[in-house]
Every structure is written in C-alpha cells, then in structure tokens.
Structure 1
Amino acid sequence: MGAYIANAAAWQESFDRQQESYLPDREERLAAMLDAVDAATNGEPPRLLDLAGGTGTISLRTLTRFPGATATVVDQDPVLLALARASLGGRASVVAADLNDPAWVDALPHRDFDAVLTATAMHWLPGPRLTALYTEIRGLLRTGGIFVNADQMPDDGLPTFGKRLLDREDEKRDARYAAGAALSWSAWWSHVRTDASFAELIAERDRIYPPGRSGHTEWLPPISWHLEALRSAGFSETGTLWRGGPDAAVIGVR
C-alpha cells in the first residue's frame, strides 16, 4: 500500500519515543542483537530479516551500522508498514504477511538470511504457532546464521522476585503515563487516528484487527520454554544473548 503520510519522519520519531517509554533499555537490547549479527557475519554486510518489524526500527539501525546490508521487514499492520516504507525510502523490502499463516514465507524476496531478528512481538502468537514459526525461521537461515528473539521472558529461577521486578516496571511506567511524561500504546494509537493521512490505513487496520476483538492475548512463557523450542526446531546452538530484568533475548544458531 502506497498511502502518503504527512510528516512521516515525525511519526517515526513519535513511535520510537513511545516504545522507549515502554522499554527504557530498548536501544541496549537492539545493540546486543546487532553485536550478534556482527559476530555471525564477521563484519560483512548482513542479509537481515526484520520479523514483525513494525516501522522498521531494527532495519533502520542495521542499515546505519552495516553499510551495504540488505533488509526485509515483515509485518501485518498496514499503518506501521506504511511508516516503515516512508522511513526506509526504498533501502529495504517491506512485506505484508500474517505470521499466523505458514505461507508467510512465500512472500519473502529470498530465503538465505544471515540473521532473523524480532523484538517485543512474538508474545501475540500462541504456543503451538510460535513453536512452528521457530522451525520455519530456521529454514530461512544459511548455515551459521542466527535468529534472535527479544521479549518479556521471565527467568525460571526467579518466579517471585521476577514478578516483583515486573510490577515495579509497570508502576513506574503507569506513573509516567498518568503524568503525561510519555504516551501509552493505546494513547499513541488514539493520536494516530487524529491524522487524516492515516484514515485509509486505519480502516484497513481495523479490518485486520477488529476493535474489541476477543481471543487476542499475550502469551509470556519463561525463557526455558523458548530455549527448548529453539532446540526442538533444530538450531545447533541456543542460549541467552541478553537480559534486562524480566526481559531477555534468546539466540539460536543454525
């Protein structure tokens, strides 16, 4: 969809600020992911798949850090994809696909990626589908390529204290929202709806994600679940790449 968005750069910045308010260590986790990409490619320009990539946050940082890299952004949200197209300006492929459907891989421009990265997105998929997706992702990587998933992944060894850490984060975040220091996710989307240039995209988004729909819930298993799922998917090496409080990034090496 080639809809024109007025002030797209400002909206990209607005999205980043909203995400940073939700995840204060957002840049730290993204830097750790790109460090892993650097190690996987020995500094050569990577072929990246930015999975559930939204506005192209990971791709933008990849293209800045690795001149000559190629990037493919996959998401289903038409608003976020339009912002990705505007922000990337033809420097990356931007693909609309539903990760709930195994046929999403058919929409990709190629299947020999050095790295597949995703952040704060896989928690919307149910366990059986995420398990299958991990296998599909492995099939897209060249030998030695990496997959990294950063999300809320509780530490199995800290079931009580980990919950306390999470509650503290939520309290601080809610206080900032209440004081107007930052926009919540829902407030950001309400703001988007006030911009007439998003009207057609919002209508399409509402068809994909009907307002008030039921059955759309977060699923946040402990990190051990992800590591076992990666091993079952056939990754030769698996482990924890990064951790910050209740969040972590797991890595699988093909």
Structure 2
Amino acid sequence: MTTHAPHQADWRAWQDSWDRQQEWYLPDREERFRVMLETTEALVGTRPRVLDLACGTGSISDRLLKRMPNARTVGVDRDPALLTLARGTFEGDERARFVTLDLSEEDWPARLGEELGEELDERGPFDAVLTATALHWMRTEPLRALYAQIAGLVREGGVFMNADHMPDESTPRINAALHTHEEKRRQRRLGEGALDWGGWWRALSEDPALARVAEERFALFGNPAEVRHDHNNEEFQSAAWHAATLREVGFAEARTVWASPTDALVLGLR
C-alpha cells in the first residue's frame, strides 16, 4: 500500500485546502481547536504525549505542536490519502508519528503498541487522547466499546476530548431553523468557489502526485465525489450521552467544555 506520494506534492497547500473544506462545514472549527488545546495545557501541561485519534491530515497534531513545541504526538487513522498528507507535512519532524490502524478492529490498541515498540497496558501511555470531527461515523454501541478502549490508553490524571456533531433532539424547531440558516450559508460559500467534501476529493484525485493514493482511498471507502453519504447519518449521540458513557467506562469526571448549536467538545478526565 502506498504510504507517501511523490515529493512534488505541495503538502502545506493541501493542508490549507483541507482546512478550508472543513470550515465550509464548521465555521467555528478553529475555536473548538483552541478550547481543546487550552484545556489540554491546563490539565496535563505543555509537554504532553498525545494520541491524535482518527487524525486525518494531522490537523490536531499541527496545532498542538505549534502551540506546544515540546509535545509529542502519535496520529492513527485508516485513510491512506489523509495519512499521506499527514506524513508528508510532518516528514522529518521526530515529534510526530503516524500509524495506519482501523479503530473498528478490536485489537487496534495492541497493534498500536506493536507499531510503537511498547506494551500498551492499563497504566495508560498517553497524557491526552484528542479527536475532532471523526467519530460521528461510528454507531452507538461500537463507539461505547471504543471509549472503553480509550480509557485504557489515558494515564491517571490524563484527558480524552472529542469535538464532534452532538445534536440535541429535544429542540426540533430550533434545530430546523438553524439547519436552514446553515444550508443557506453553505450554498452561498459554494457560489463563491468553496469546495465541499466531494469537491475536495475530486480535486485531490486530479493532482498527479496524489492520484494513486486517492484511488486507494476510494477502493476502501468509495469516492465521495460519487457517493452522497459515506458516513453514519442515522445515529448521532448527544453530548450528555458522551459524558455519561465516558464516566461509565472509567473516566472520573466528564462534561461538555465547549458547544455550538449543533456540535460539542466533551472532556473526560481519568
């Protein structure tokens, strides 16, 4: 499997393009990152060892290392194209590693330990496990099981944070109005030339330096430019569910530390 595209790929340009595409969906994306990293610093200091879970292009790792130059990060994901961008961006930076793993496989923590050359046990090797806009593709029970695995990777006093879509279904009229307003914003931005999810993947596949790894990605998940939905769109858990589940699986405290009308950042403290 391809792990790196040819060196002529413009890694930073693609990182910036990814950020703009994500901001088309999440105009407050940088604010959630800011709160996530400030809270990480408050609870575990400025030299944390971080697991960037479902890391994609390494957006969290990028911001973490700029804010905390003495941090170390391990990114895990299964998307070969996004991992290629992450590896290209951080090539030569010994503070960051990236590992290909499928979080739906039961043995992924053990496989991560093998990749890192260490045994990951109940002592918890990470000061923080951070993830954003990634776990919404998991249904409720697999996500509950994943949270239990994550609890075993966070040291005593360490943190887990998940920033993602966490709707409140108790306010249908509010939700409908916000949805309509947001759709108008997105359509306006498309008219101004913004790329949506499918458009971004189409552009990536047209870059000669990345076309091959894009095809590898499409073979695994389908081509987002052709498939309307390649994520779970049926089971979204509320912020209250996330906090309660984190407490159930072994976190001493858990609560929402940031929220927008549709998304939230939930923190669990071991």
Query: Which band: TM-score by shorter chain?
Result: over 0.9
SS where residue 259 of structure 2 aligns? strand
Unaligned runs of 5+ in 1: none
Residue in structure 1 matching 2:85, options 70, 73, 83: 83
- Residue 16 of structure 1: SS of its match in structure 2? helix
1:61-80 residue pairs with structure 2 within 5 A?
61-80=63-82
- Structure 1 residue 171, shift from structure 2 partner: 2.4
Identical-residue share of aligned pairs (%): 45
- Identify the match of residue 138 of structure 1 among 126, 145, 151: 151
Deviation (angstroms), 1:64: 0.9
Q: For the Cα contact (< 8 Å) 2:53–2:131, is it kept in 1?
A: yes
Partner residue, 2:103: 99
- Among candidates 245, 250, 254, match of residue 261 of structure 2: 245
Report how far residue 70 of structure 1 moved.
0.5
Instruction: Please provide the CA RMSD for this pair.
Output: 1.9
1:63 is displaced (CA, Å) by: 0.6
TM-score (norm 2): 0.87
- SS of equivalent residue, structure 1 residue 102: coil
How far is 1:122 from its partner?
Answer: 0.6
| Aligned equivalents of 2:111, 2:73: Cα separation in 1 | 14
CA contact (8 A) 1:166 1:245 kept: no
What SS does structure 1 have at the residue aligned with 2:81? helix
Q: Does 1:220 find its partner at 2:236?
A: yes
Which one is further off, 16-25 or 135-144?
Answer: 16-25
- CA distance in 2: counterparts of 1:242 and 1:213, whole angstroms: 30
Do the aligned partners of 2:55 and 2:76 also contact (CA within 8 Å) in 1?
yes
Q: What do the CA deviations read for 1:122-168 (whole angstroms, capped 9, x no partner)?
A: 11011111000001001000001111111111235534313322332
Give structure 1 regions of 4+ aligned residues with deviation exceeding 6 angstroms: none
**TM-score for the superposition, normalised by structure 1:** 0.93
Distance 1:213 1:166, change over 3 A: closer
Which consecutive unaligned segments of at least 5 residues does structure 2 have?
A: none
Is the contact made by 2:139 and 2:236 (CA closer than 8 Å) also made in structure 1? no
| CA distance in structure 2 between the partners assigned to 1:136 and 1:96 by the alignment | 17
CA deviations over 1:171-193 (Å, ceiling 9, x no partner): 2112211x133110110011111
SS class of match (2:107): helix
Specify the alignment match of 1:49 in structure 2: 51
How many residues are paired up? 252
What one-letter code is carried by the residue in structure 1 that aligns with 2:182? Answer: E
